Amino acid sequence: MTPPPALSVSDIRMSYGDLRAVDGVSFEVAEGEFFGILGPNGAGKTTTLEIAEGLREPDSGTVRLLGEPPWPRNVALLPRIGVQLQASAFFEKLSTREQLETFASLYGVGPARVDEMLELVGLTGKASTPEAKLSGGQRQRLSIACALVHDPDIVFLDEPTAALDPQARRNLWDVLREVQARGKTIVYTTHYLDEAEVLCDRVAIMDHGRILAMDTPARLVRDLDAAARVSLDRGSLPAERARGLPGADAVTEDDTTLTISTRNPAPLLSALAELGTLEGLQVRTATLEDVFLDLTGREYRA
Ligand SMILES: Nc1ncnc2c1ncn2[C@@H]1O[C@H](COP(=O)(O)OP(=O)(O)OP(=O)(O)O)[C@@H](O)[C@H]1O
């Protein structure tokens, strides 16, 4: 028998005045799954997440979180869910450890767990640093530790990697993977499609309050059936020659690059290897950004 979903959201709607922020959204998240809600600014991700967490009442629709309705405020659920707090919600003038200890004490959790969380998010060395002196990435990691300190079953994270430099984002990816490896269900929002592609088991792509597509990133990309693009330095091969290669569907050139579109890259790459033109060669396959373009007819702009 399949276990009941950790989260089940059914046809939720929410308007702010005339604006339909969430317009009939339904999805389920399995226990232990890493589920991403993706989309550009204003797509309705935060509103959806807040309704799922029980922080907002939808105009209509139903939510079951760990089998129970989260709204009106369901106190029995609180120890079982973790909600990432925004950095501004930290207590003033406390060190990293003191912040975590304060959250831990609210849940009756002992100090050993605080040390474990500091270790998990890589902040052991910053335990006595005042929170105000942490970098953006460190602060995000602290907020994740606060959301996890009481060992919840499911954790909600709203754009945990926003406004981080690429290295800090990648460090946080490791933390999120570790959280999932500990068996937690993760529901998170992001506007970074590339990130969701590597982290999430399944994603829902949202735009204008609706889910446009929902599946594993790999299946969404595969179903697009898009051509791969092989690019070479211009001049490494005449365009006419490229057009005659096995597997080449179309060839374009700009000032610096010759690009060959192909749905059959293997023979094309072998032919290029035989011609000795592999230097500087890049292969770009379709990504979730191409899926978004296909769904909406417009380029993805986070
Ligand atoms: N309290 C509010 N009052 C009025 N309009 C709101 C309110 N909160 C959100 N909105 C509007 O609802 C729409 C959805 O907002 P929401 O924050 O859910 O989107 P989002 O996808 O999370 O965007 P972002 O990535 O910018 O956080 C947006 O057009 C937003 O301006």
Ligand 1 closest atom vs CA 17 = 4
Q: Which of the listed residues 14, 23, 41 should we mutate to test ligand 1's pocket, taking the one with most ligand atoms within 8 A of CB? A: 41
Q: Return mean pLDDT, the chain.
A: 91
Q: Residue 247 half-sphere exposure, CB side, CA atoms within 13 Å?
A: 17
Query: Is the pLDDT confidence value at 300 over 70?
Result: yes
Dump strand ranges (E) for 52-135.
Answer: 60-65, 81-83
Are the CB atoms for 168 and 135 separated by under 8 Å? yes
Query: Is the pLDDT confidence value at 232 over 80?
Result: yes
Residue 35: helix, strand or coil by DSSP?
A: strand
Query: Is the pLDDT confidence value at 2 over 80?
Result: no
Number of H helices, E strands in the chain: 10, 13
Query: What single letter denotes the amino acid at residue 285?
Result: T
pTM: 0.87
Residues of the chain with CATH 3.30.70: 227-285
Gap from CA of 266 to ligand 1 centroid (Å): 45
Model confidence at 168, pLDDT cuts 50, 70, 90, reads confident
- Pocket around ligand 1: residues whose beta carbon is below 6 Å from it? 16, 19, 21, 39, 41-47, 191
Gap from CA of 292 to ligand 1 centroid (Å): 20
Ligand 1 closest atom vs CA 48 = 18
ipTM of model: 0.95
Domain 7-222 has CATH 3.40.50.300: yes
**CB burial of residue 301 (10 Å; 0-12, 13-18, 19+):** exposed
Residues of the chain with CATH 3.40.50.300: 7-222
Q: Architecture of domain 227-285 in CATH?
A: 2-Layer Sandwich (3.30)
State pLDDT tens for residues 27-36: 999 999 999 9
Ligand 1 closest atom vs CA 47 = 18
The sign one gets for the Cα dihedral 41, 44, 48, 54 is: positive
Question: What is residue 88's predicted lDDT score, i.e. its pLDDT?
Answer: 63
